[in-house]
């Protein structure tokens, strides 16, 4: 189903502070020290800038490329 | 005037040529193997191309192959041929490190599917080659970089660094690499050899340490296109142990090679020709395109989704997938990673799920647009890398610098086809004024490897680029 244009996620504009990075890391089970989170914030900016730019692509009619298939696992008898 | 040294010694001949000599009993597998091991012993101190050398196993395999061939049991074009494999393919009873501290003592119980197929075909495994740590971002200090055989001060790129250096230097007749952002094609271009990333699903990934399950590709690295065709014919095909393996018949790739480009429609896409490319690379690729036109090909201008869309989508897919594989080690042993790999894995851990899913949607969208662009042509031509081999000091790929923007620029021409899964081959198209090889990339529609290889082979016959010897070998002679 096509989603309304206005519902495209707006991920840009988030400030990647060391505190935010520590919080996101904790969700994944990783403990970043304050210094480590500050170092990572520097690397994170160009990375997130690149992938957040994808939101400018019009992908309303595109399903994710990942596939889950069971057509060769079913019982055929 | 300096004389250009060409490949003439047995160790430097193409795989298919020595395979023919083996069948004619003009040479034996043990002689080929001893020559490869001798070359390895002479050059390994300079190249650092191998993590594990399998000299005893190789000699035993070669003697077995000689006995089988003598008895009339011919297993095909790789029978008795010494080759190497990147050290991320599982080998039963043989250490498989992925050039990492994490897996330094890892000894698998079973072979990767591609290793089993190479062994079944009678190939002689001489060793396992060095790579960027986990085929991801940079060199681990425990293993060190693999310098370029054309200039030891320069990089081989990566991640299949040792495989490219070994093949270029005549240490075995081919190698097996893997490619998630360009890891077969970039080192092939830097080292003046041929590297093929097949269609996603064409070659099994089972038993290869993953970077990204949905973007990893396994493929051959050799000195000629025909050699690549011979290796692909052995490793390609459906594998029930790889859920993404394609159920597409494997053609005889060697049989469809010829020297003719008439009837070929060669696509050029402006976004993939000159942007961020060194002028001498552009000039050599344009000269190659002109050569193909004189050989009968028709040049067609086409539009493709640009690298500026495809590479971020690729990063948005592979970064969190890589972290998902590494998460337990990242929690328990973060200091065992190199700094750059750890950083990239940590970035994957903090990537929101919605970003990953949007990247997968962008992937579908870009793939559909790419398929539409390829409707009009057989192959698309472009540079493989933005430049010839860079100096090791400060190199984007092999140094401890992990600037994501610079790394993305390095993958401009290779990454889009890891994202979309289209088959792509890099082959030499000339040399810079400094004597460094330059790679040209040909890309085709999914599962059109036969057409792709035929075009690459035809172009290859027009020059002797593939026969030139790297400096590290000429200095031996």
Per-residue 3-state assignment (H helix, E strand, C coil) for B160-214: CHHHHHHHHCCCCCEEEEEECCCCCHHHHHHHCCEEEECCCCCECCCCECCCCCC
Other C-beta atoms within 10 Å of B229: how many? 30
* Contact call for residues B257 and B453 (beta carbons, < 8 A): yes
Q: Which of A46, A54, A61 sits opposite B404 (nearest CB)?
A: A46
pLDDT score, position A66 = 79
> What is the rounded end-to-end Cα distance, in angstroms, of chain B?
19
Report CB contact under 8 Å: B350, A46. Answer: no
* For A18, nearest residue in chain B (alpha carbons): B350
Catalytic residue among B84, B183, B204, B426: B183
In this structure, what token pair is assigned to residue B57?
A: 């196993």
β-strands B82-86, B174-179 pairing: parallel
CB contacts, 8 Å: A42 with chain B: none
**What dihedral angle (degrees, nearest 10) is formed by the CA atoms of B451, B454, B455, B461?**
180
Report CB contact under 8 Å: B312, A50. Answer: yes
Angle value at C-alpha B300, between B294 and B306, nearest 5 degrees: 125
Q: Which of A30, A43, A65 sits opposite B363 (nearest CB)?
A: A65
In this structure, what token pair is assigned to residue B156?
A: 């081989």
Per-residue pLDDT of chain B (477 residues; tens, 9 = 90+): 346 777 778 999 999 999 999 999 999 999 999 999 999 999 999 999 999 999 999 999 999 999 999 999 999 999 999 999 999 999 999 999 999 999 999 999 999 999 999 999 999 999 999 999 999 978 999 999 999 999 999 999 999 999 999 999 999 999 999 999 999 999 999 999 999 999 999 999 999 999 999 999 999 999 999 999 999 999 999 999 999 999 999 999 999 998 899 999 999 999 999 788 999 999 999 999 999 999 999 999 999 999 999 999 999 999 999 999 999 999 999 999 999 999 999 999 999 999 999 999 999 999 999 999 999 999 999 999 999 999 887 665 555 555 566 677 789 999 999 999 999 999 999 999 999 999 999 999 999 999 999 999 999 999 999 999 999 999 887
Report CB contact under 8 Å: B214, A65. Answer: yes
Q: Which of A9, A47, A69 sits opposite B315 (nearest CB)?
A: A47
pLDDT score, position B200 = 97
pLDDT band at A43 (very low <50, low <70, confident <90, very high): confident
Chain A within 8 Å of B338 (Cβ-Cβ)? no
Q: Answer yes or no: B159 catalytic.
A: yes
Q: Which of B327, B347, B366 sits opposite A47 (nearest CB)?
A: B347
Task: Provide CB contacts within 8 A for B358, sequence distance 6+.
Answer: A9, A51, A54, A55, A59, B316
Report CB contact under 8 Å: A66, B360. Answer: yes
**CA proximity to B50, closest of B136, B138, B167:** B167
Q: Answer yes or no: B86 catalytic.
A: yes
Prediction pTM value: 0.95
Q: How far is CA B147 from CA B164, B174, B180, B458, in A?
A: 10, 18, 21, 31
Length of chain B: 477
Place of tokens 């190789």: B58
> Which stretch of DSSP H or E encloses residue B381?
strand B379-383
pLDDT score, position A3 = 52
* For B356, nearest residue in chain A (alpha carbons): A51
β-strands B265-269, B298-302 pairing: parallel
> What is the rounded end-to-end Cα distance, in angstroms, of chain A?
34
Catalytic residue among B159, B163, B204, B338: B159
Task: Provide CB contacts within 8 A for A77, sequence distance 6+.
Answer: none
pLDDT score, position B454 = 98
Angle value at C-alpha B83, between B79 and B85, nearest 5 degrees: 125
Nearest-Å Rg of the Cα atoms of chain A is: 19
* Contact call for residues A54 and B359 (beta carbons, < 8 A): yes
* Contact call for residues B169 and B189 (beta carbons, < 8 A): no
Q: Which of helix, strand or coil describes residue B237?
A: coil
Alpha helices for B375-475 (secondary structure H)? 404-410, 415-420, 449-460, 471-474
ipTM of predicted complex = 0.84
CB contacts, 8 Å: A11 with chain B: 352, 354-355
Strand-by-strand arrangement of the B82-86 sheet: B50-53, B124-129, B82-86, B174-179, B217-222, B194-197, B424-431, B437-444, B379-383, B265-269, B298-302
* Contact call for residues B309 and A54 (beta carbons, < 8 A): yes
**CA proximity to B379, closest of B337, B425, B333:** B425
Distance (Å, whole) CA B371 – CA B420: 9
**CA proximity to B471, closest of B427, B431, B426:** B431
Task: Provide CB contacts within 8 A for B159, sequence distance 6+.
Answer: B86, B131, B132, B135, B136, B178, B180, B183, B187, B397
Q: Which of B358, B364, B408 sits opposite A54 (nearest CB)?
A: B358
Q: Which of residues 406-445 of B touch A (CB under 8 A)?
A: 408
Distance (Å, whole) CA A28 – CA B331: 9
Task: Provide CB contacts within 8 A for B327, sequence distance 6+.
Answer: A28, A29, B349
* Contact call for residues B96 and B90 (beta carbons, < 8 A): yes
Residue of B244, B316, B358 to mutate when probing chain A, most A C-beta within 10 A: B358
Length of chain A: 77
At residue B50, φ and ψ (nearest 5 deg) are -120, 140
CB contacts, 8 Å: B367 with chain A: 65
> Which stretch of DSSP H or E encloses residue B340?
helix B339-349
* Closest CA–CA distance from residue A63 to any residue of chain B (Å): 5
* Contact call for residues B28 and B64 (beta carbons, < 8 A): no
């Amino acid at each position: 189903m096509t989603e309304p244009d206005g519902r495209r996620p707006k991920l840009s504009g988030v400030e990647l502070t060391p505190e935010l990075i520590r919080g996101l890391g904790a969700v994944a089970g990783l403990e970043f020290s304050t210094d480590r989170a500050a170092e990572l914030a520097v690397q994170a900016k160009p990375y997130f800038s690149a992938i957040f730019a994808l939101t400018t692509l019009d992908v309303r009619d595109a399903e994710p490329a990942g596939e889950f298939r069971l057509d060769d696992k079913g019982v055929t008898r | 005037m300096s004389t250009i040294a060409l490949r003439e010694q047995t160790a430097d001949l193409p795989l298919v040529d020595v395979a023919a000599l083996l069948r004619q009993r003009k040479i034996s597998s043990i002689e080929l193997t001893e020559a490869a091991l001798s070359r390895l012993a002479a050059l390994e101190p300079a190249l650092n191309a191998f993590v594990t050398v399998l000299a005893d196993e190789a000699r035993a395999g070669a003697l077995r192959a000689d006995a089988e061939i003598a008895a009339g049991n011919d297993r095909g074009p790789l029978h008795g041929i010494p080759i190497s494999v990147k050290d991320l393919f599982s080998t039963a009873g043989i250490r498989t490190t992925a050039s990492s501290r994490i897996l330094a003592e890892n000894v698998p119980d079973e072979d990767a599917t591609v290793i089993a197929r190479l062994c079944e075909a009678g190939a002689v495994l001489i060793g396992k080659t060095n790579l960027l740590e986990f085929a991801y971002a940079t060199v681990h200090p425990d293993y060190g970089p693999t310098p370029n055989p054309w200039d030891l001060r320069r990089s081989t790129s990566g991640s299949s660094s040792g495989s490219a250096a070994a093949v270029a230097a005549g240490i075995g007749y081919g190698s097996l690499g893997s490619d998630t952002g360009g890891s077969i094609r970039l080192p092939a271009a830097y080292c003046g050899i041929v590297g093929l990333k097949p269609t996603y699903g064409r070659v099994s990934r089972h038993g290869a340490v993953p970077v990204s399950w949905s973007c990893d590709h396994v493929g051959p690295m050799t000195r000629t296109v025909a050699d690549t065709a011979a290796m692909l014919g052995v490793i390609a095909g459906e594998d029930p142990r790889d859920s993404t393996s394609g159920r597409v018949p494997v053609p005889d790739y060697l049989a469809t090679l010829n020297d003719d480009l008439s009837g070929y429609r060669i696509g050029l896409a402006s976004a993939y020709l000159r942007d961020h490319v060194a002028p001498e690379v552009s000039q050599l690729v344009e000269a190659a395109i002109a050569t193909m036109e004189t050989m009968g090909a028709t040049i067609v201008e086409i539009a493709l989704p640009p690298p500026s869309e495809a590479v971020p989508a690729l990063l948005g897919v592979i970064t969190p997938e890589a972290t998902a594989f590494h998460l337990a080690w990242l929690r328990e042993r973060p200091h065992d990673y190199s700094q750059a790999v750890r950083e990239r894995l940590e970035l994957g851990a903090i990537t929101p799920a919605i970003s990953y899913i949007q990247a997968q949607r962008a992937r579908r969208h870009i793939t559909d647009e790419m398929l539409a662009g390829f409707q009009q042509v057989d192959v698309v031509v472009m540079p493989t890398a933005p430049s010839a081999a860079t100096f090791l000091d400060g190199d984007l790929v092999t140094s401890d610098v992990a600037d994501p923007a610079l790394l993305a620029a390095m993958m401009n021409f290779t990454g889009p086809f890891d994202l979309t899964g289209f088959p792509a081959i890099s082959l030499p198209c000339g040399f810079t004024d400094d004597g460094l090889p330059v790679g040209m990339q040909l890309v085709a529609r999914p599962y059109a490897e036969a057409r792709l290889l035929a075009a690459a082979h035809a172009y290859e016959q027009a020059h002797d680029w593939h026969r030139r010897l790297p400096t590290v070998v000429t200095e031996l002679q």
